[in-house]
A and B are shown apart, each in its own frame.
Chain A
Amino acid sequence: MSRTDTGAPERATGNAPTDPDRPRRGLTERLLAVRELSLLIALGLLVLVTTVRNDRFLSGQSVKDLLLGCAILVILAVGQTLVIVTRNVDLSVGSILGLVAFATGSLFLSAPGTPWPLALVLGVALGALCGVVNGGLIAVARVPALVITLGTLYAFRGVDYYWASGRQINAADMPPSFLRLGNQTVLGVPVLFLVALVVVAAVGFYLRSYRSGRELYAIGSEPAAARLSGIPVGRRVFAVFVANGALAGLAGVLYAARFGTLDAAAGTGLELQVVAAAVVGGVAIFGGSGSAYGAALGAVLLTTIGSSLAVLRIDPFWQQAVVGALILAAIGLDRLLALRVAARLRGRSAHGA
């Protein structure tokens, strides 16, 4: 958000709308800001309503649980944003998380003395390796990512089941220093959530401020034009899948640290929640727009809905319905914003004669 003003008071915008203090930020960025603001408002309303009904919802422990609960989904949603922005999708993240979580547990089981930072690095590396498989298959087979990652969703999970062969790993098998990672707080904020914040900030900053980050948007916005402007489309898409795999690996290690009890089914079905969080957060499913911040807010919102419905003692059945309604509302809002922007731009582009 460190965007400096160009300082030119009179910008050539033709017949700009009657908006005296027209923000100097670009329309694209303002649109994103509107999108993120609406998520924050929705989140605020939700917390407000829930707190009014039950004041313990904003108690320290409850907030801590909430932050802890959303951290993993936030990391996955941010990774998914990288992929979706390029007009692809990665459905295998739930399976990667499960595989890495189980691998981490097994590592501590077979080599109890392993320092946890090493386990973290190995987990991220295994996730990245899964990403290499995804990215490589997509590059070689030239088949849509949806199909490839649907395949690897089952393949990675299959490997996980084969490896676990019915075993379960318990918290007792893991070193306490590692498990502390999952529960410790710094100034009341869970470490897990801080890790998620760092990921959001890093990816958000990268997507916004680096050439290769902007190229990801270009690829998703118009793949043919991206090729013609010399963007190495194949390489970028491959890298994006590797990065997303690495983030799913990170999420897997954190999952192991948080829950302690691991079997082969960890993270099953998580991929749809992740895509839902990104879409609710304003990441356009056909690529080209959306931000890591939005996706993270989407993940927080979905998690908060889950716990607030529990606090309000609403049938869990409704939770699914509410998430569904939220996705539809998010899409509706995007459409509405797009139409309004289009109308405004039409008014403006009438320059000259």
Chain B
Amino acid sequence: MTADAPGTDGAPLLVLDGVTKSFGAVAALRGVHLALHPGEAHALVGENGAGKSTLVKILAGAHPPDSGEMTLDGQPLRLRGPADARAAGIAVIYQEPTLFPDLSVAENIFMGRQPLRGLRRIDSAAMNRDAERLFQRLGVRIDPARPARGLSIADQQLVEIAKAISFDARVLVMDEPTAALSGVEVERLFAVARSLCERGAAVLFISHRFDEVFDLCHRVTVLRDGAWVSSDPAADLPIDEVVRRMVGRDVSSLYPKQAAELRDTLLEVRGLTRAGVFTDVSFSVRGGEIVALAGLVGAGRSEVARAVFGVDRYDAGEVLVAGRAVPAGRPGRAIAAGMALVPEDRRQQGLVMELSVERNATLARRRALSRLGLLLGGAERAEARNWTRRLQVKAARLGAPVATLSGGNQQKVVLAKWLATEPRILIIDEPTRGIDVGTKAEVHRLLSELAGEGLAILMISSELPEVLGMADRVLVMHEGRLVRELSRAEADETSIMYAATGQGVTA
């Protein structure tokens, strides 16, 4: 039920006007408007990468906006750092908990604001009591004196919430706080948010769960590709319309996959389960086919890919390559069986940034290239030249460190590294994240070519146009489960978004 919207005709509490933020060449926010009224719960919705988290960071004082105005109570608001945002009464609950594992829960809540006694000493007893009181208000039982290390994600999130409400904030920003919480805990959180609203605070709530959005919020603002789309009272806005506004955009700029002849099933996954991460995931990919794994961030897609490749363990299920089982937790065996994984986080998982292009490109093939256990430069260089030429990597020279390359070219080096192992199955996680449009098209052309050569490709992508342009079939994940399988004909932005947000899926 939507609560009666408080008067939006009165003076707003916090206003963002024309806020713009770019990271390098990527525009994360383009002229965003947002007005939060006292006593209002306001929802911010948008696809992955629509700029929601950037907006949160700006409100938190973690990023300064490039341009645009912010006012609080009609006064200009300039945030030079997180401390300023706190002082202004803006509390933020981040998507990822930001706790200090070595410190006690109570210290985490009151860091920098610990209650004091004589000589400005910290009054630990009072601090623990205050923390206890906050937890009582939230209706949870967490020992305030225990260290934060080892708390479950849900408990960490609850500590974050306790921290935020301990401020008596005038503006509470919650960036997907409910992803790890149980139904009861969500209800308690909402009760706290409502009581804050009743006291005249404003709540900005970011979530992909529409039932929660419409349960809590009075108004809904939609962002798309970093730009403001609309702000409307929640009561006047059907869910269909929200989804349409979130995704509606042009897809023509993308390279479509060429039709390829489908061959035998190369990769088969049966009942893959890892407790608390993903459950009963089964699918297969045939040679020449590109299968996309779609879903929201945190739905468990990358975790499934890592488990299939053997980097992460799984509790149940099996993985078969061309009908033969691959042992769990053994990436070496997966590579031998012809699998390759191009990870999402290039810097941390895909490349050794300080090493040269040629070293990186041949890293996964060291054994095949070595003679008597030694890696001799000639073989490495020849191999690297071959692949980097084919992928058109733009590097000053092959000996240059990978760190000096652009994001798109780094991605190509990661691809070169894995293609050099001559895989039959390519698992690729967010193939074009953070790279420019031109290189994007090249990567798409290349994936299409590879499928044409008979590779089975499993592509994880959060960009719907990419999914729609490239995939023969789309598998949609929602909260650790495979909830829909869509053929190329069935898949469109609305159907994928519906499934990904858990609409029309019985839990």
Contacts and interface: CB of A to CB of B under 8 A. Distances in A.
Contact of A28 (B116, B145, B184, B185): B145
A211 B149 CA distance: 20
Interface residues of A, number: 46
B112 A288 contact: no
Contacts of A220: 102
B207 interface: no
Given A11-B143, A26-B146, A214 B184 contact: no
A174 B231 CA distance: 79
Interface in B77-100: 81-86, 94, 98-100
Contacts of B54: none
Interface in A1-48: 3-6, 8, 11-14, 24-29
Interface of B: 60-62, 81-86, 94, 98-104, 107, 111-112, 114, 116, 120-122, 124-125, 128-129, 132, 135, 140-143, 145-147, 149-152, 155, 182, 184-185
Interface stretch (A66-74, A229-237, A323-331): A229-237
Given A5-B125, A229-B82, A351-B142, A217 B103 contact: yes
A56 interface: no
14 contacts: A8-B132, A12-B142, A24-B145, A28-B146, A211-B114, A211-B120, A218-B107, A226-B100, A228-B60, A228-B98, A229-B98, A229-B112, A231-B112, A289-B102
Contacts of B150: 341-342, 345-346, 349
B291 to A, nearest CB: 35
B135 to A, nearest CB: 7
A67 B82 CA distance: 47
Given A4-B125, A28-B147, A352 B182 contact: yes
The B interface, classified by DSSP as helix, strand, loop or mixed, is loop
A170 to B, nearest CB: 45
B152 A349 contact: yes
A221 B120 CA distance: 23
Contacts of A341: 147, 149-150
A28 B111 contact: no
Contacts of B147: 26-28, 341, 345
A221 B100 contact: yes
Contacts of A12: 132, 135, 141-143
Given A11-B143, A12-B135, A28 B114 contact: no
A225 interface: yes
A229 B83 CA distance: 7
A289 B148 CA distance: 13
A210 B121 contact: yes
Contact of A228 (B82, B122, B143): B82
A211 B116 CA distance: 9
Contacts of B124: 3
Given A3-B125, A27-B147, A211-B122, A351 B140 contact: yes
Interface string A264-293: 000000000000000000001000110000
A227 B82 contact: yes
Contacts of B101: 221-222, 288
A351 B155 contact: yes
A221 B149 CA distance: 10
Given A214-B114, A221-B100, A229-B98, 18 more contacts: A6-B125, A13-B143, A14-B141, A25-B145, A28-B147, A209-B121, A211-B112, A221-B103, A225-B99, A227-B82, A228-B60, A228-B82, A228-B94, A228-B98, A230-B85, A231-B83, A345-B149, A351-B141
A311 B104 CA distance: 44
B125 A348 contact: no
Contacts of B81: 230
A224 interface: yes
A348 B143 contact: yes
Contact of A6 (B62, B103, B128): B128
B112 A217 contact: no
Nearest to B87: A230
B149 A231 contact: no
B147 to A, nearest CB: 5
Given A8-B132, A342-B149, A342-B150, A352 B140 contact: yes
A222 B99 contact: yes
A197 B146 CA distance: 30
Nearest to B81: A230
A350 to B, nearest CB: 8
Nearest to A342: B150
Among A5, A8, A27, chain B packs the most CB atoms within 10 A around the CB of A27
Contact of A222 (B61, B100, B125): B100
A143 to B, nearest CB: 15
A215 interface: yes
A229 B182 contact: no
Contacts of A215: 111-112
Among B103, B107, B151, B155, chain A packs the most CB atoms within 10 A around the CB of B103
